[in-house]
Amino acid sequence: GKGLAVFTSGGDSQGMNAAVRSVVRMGIYLGCKVYFIREGYQGMVDGGDNIEEANWSSVSSIIHKGGTIIGSARCMDFIKREGRLSAAYNLVTRGITNLVVIGGDGSLTGANLFRQEWSSLLDELLQNNRITKDQREKYKFLHIAGMVGSIDNDFCGTDMTIGTDSALHRIIEAIDAIVSTAYSHQRTFIMEVMGRHCGFLAVFTALSTDATYNFICEEPAPPNWDKKLCEKIKEERKSGQRLNIIIVAEGAIDREGKPITAELVKKVVVENLQQDTRITVLGHVQRGGSPSAFDRILGCRMGAEAVMALMEATPETEPCVVTLDGNQAVRLPLMECVRRTKAVAQAMADKNWDLAVQLRGRS
């Protein structure tokens, strides 16, 4: 059977295990020899025990677990050609020419570069007598399928990345707990949520927790944000509300691009309203714990589709990323999605927030 390997790379997210499980089982079902690559690209570079054949039962009892059982890492060695040469050697000598990568845009870009270089890497290995002519010929094509695992929902081309729904569940559960104590003491709570440069988690959290105010980076706070915030809080308290929840995305900024931090918001509330105010930074709790049903199913669907894409690939097939579009699993050109995702980052760096929001949309 064909050699196929799966690995997880970059920050972990809930639902990655469901995706790994699905890749392994679909691969075996379709007659492949399936391998785990542990610790992301680092495991591919280091080889040895990091690349291990998987069987049907190696992925039993993992669908309910957060994180990734095969480990993940941000790898510096793979950035160097030397590292990629070693990775190519480790794959060819095991007969692996199909890769499923589960990660963010950086990890997917790395996979694309690897595939572009594949031929020249094999040539170099052959020249150095590390592989045989037969191996050079037999494994001359590398096929790649990606899936996006991230709690940030920051990738263009998909409605939801694997992990976002679970992170939202975790955040909302925490805020519901905070609300009960805030109510008792009539306090204002400032909650910092993750998302890197994407306000998706913050906006969905604010909408589903009845928050008073929300700071994100795609819609930077106007110069008089402090007054507006205090007026809103005062108004809500006057109408009988006993507490306020303010959501601050970790990348939140004002129109000059200066960070809006939880500390800064607290200072504004305390100085202007003399309110009893506390900060809760949710941190990595958001990325941990058991995946939601949605993320389990999403991982399963994406994993199966990724394997099918690889099995149908011809030498000309470009690397794809499997995404969700209107509840359909679809295959999109990997680099086009990465390019769009990078264009969003560029638009934000240029302070062109309208363009960033527009580019992030599906159309």
The set of catalytic residues is 152
Is residue 39 near ligand F6P by the rule CB under 6 A? no
Report the residue from 196, 232, 234, 340 that binds ligand F6P according to the rule CB under 6 A. 196
Q: Which stretch binds ligand F6P (CB under 6 A): 38-46, 65-73, 145-153, 265-273?
A: 145-153
Cα dihedral 308→310→315→321 (10° resolution) = 100
Q: Smallest distance, Å, CB 330 to ligand F6P?
A: 23
Q: Which two tokens stand for residue 211?
A: 């928050």
> Can you say how many angstroms the Cα of residue 303 is from the centroid of all Cα atoms in its chain?
15
Q: What Cα–Cα distance (Å) separates residue 140 from each residue in 86, 87, 96, 115, 128? A: 16, 15, 11, 10, 17
First to last CA, the chain: 39
Q: Provide the minimum distance between the beta carbon of 20 and ligand F6P in the complex, in angstroms, as a whole number.
A: 18
152 is in an annotated binding site: yes
* Beta carbon nearer to ligand F6P, 43 or 163: 163
**Least distance in Å: CB of 60 to ligand F6P?**
28
Report 151-170 residues binding ligand F6P (CB under 6 A).
151-152
Q: Which helix or strand (DSSP H or E) is residue 228 part of?
A: helix 225-238
Q: Which is nearer to ligand F6P, 185 or 284 (CB)?
A: 284
The CA distance from 297 to 300, in Å, is 5
Choose between 250 and 305: whose C-beta lies nearer to ligand F6P: 250
Query: Residue 115 is which amino acid?
Result: R
Q: Which span (57-65, 130-138, 172-180, 189-197) binds ligand F6P, by CB under 6 A?
A: 189-197
Stretch that binds ligand F6P, among 130-138, 194-202, 229-237, 257-265 (CB under 6 A): 194-202
Q: Is 3 annotated as a binding residue?
A: no
What are the backbone dihedrals phi and psi of residue 59, each rounded to the nearest 5 degrees, phi first?
A: -115, 20
Contact flag: residue 143 with ligand F6P (CB under 6 A): no
To the question of whether residue 196 is assigned a binding role by annotation, the answer is yes
**DSSP bridge pairs for 324:** 329
194 binds ligand F6P (CB under 6 A): yes
Least spacing, CB of residue 197 vs ligand F6P, in Å: 8
Candidates 3, 11, 299, 319; binder of ligand F6P (CB under 6 A) is: 11
Q: Pick from 24, 29, 47: which is nearest to 37 by CA?
A: 47
Stretch that binds ligand F6P, among 15-23, 147-155, 257-265, 324-332 (CB under 6 A): 147-155
Exposed (0-12), middle (13-18) or buried (19+): which is 277, by Cβ within 10 Å? buried
Beta strands in 217-316 (DSSP E): 244-249, 277-281
Q: Looking at 266, 287, 331, 360, which residue binds ligand F6P (CB under 6 A)? A: 287
Q: Which residue is nearest to ligand F6P (CB)?
A: 194
Does 291 sit near ligand F6P (CB under 6 A)?
A: no
Name 293's Cβ contacts closer than 8 Å, sequence gap at least 6: none
Which span (26-34, 64-72, 191-199, 273-281) binds ligand F6P, by CB under 6 A?
Answer: 191-199
Does 150 participate in binding ligand F6P (rule CB under 6 A)? yes
Detail the DSSP E strand segments found in 40-132. Answer: 51-53, 96-103
Q: Are 100 and 145 in contact (CB under 8 A)?
A: yes
Does position 192 bind ligand F6P by CB under 6 A? Answer: no
- Among residues 176, 192, 173, 180, the alpha carbon closest in space to that of 242 is found at 180
Tokens, residue 267: 């200072």
Annotated binding-site residue numbers: 11, 74-75, 104-107, 150-152, 187, 194-196, 250, 278, 284-287
The residue ranges that bind ligand F6P (CB under 6 A) are 11, 150-152, 194-196, 250, 287
Annotated binding-site residue numbers for substrate: 150-152, 187, 194-196, 250, 278, 284-287
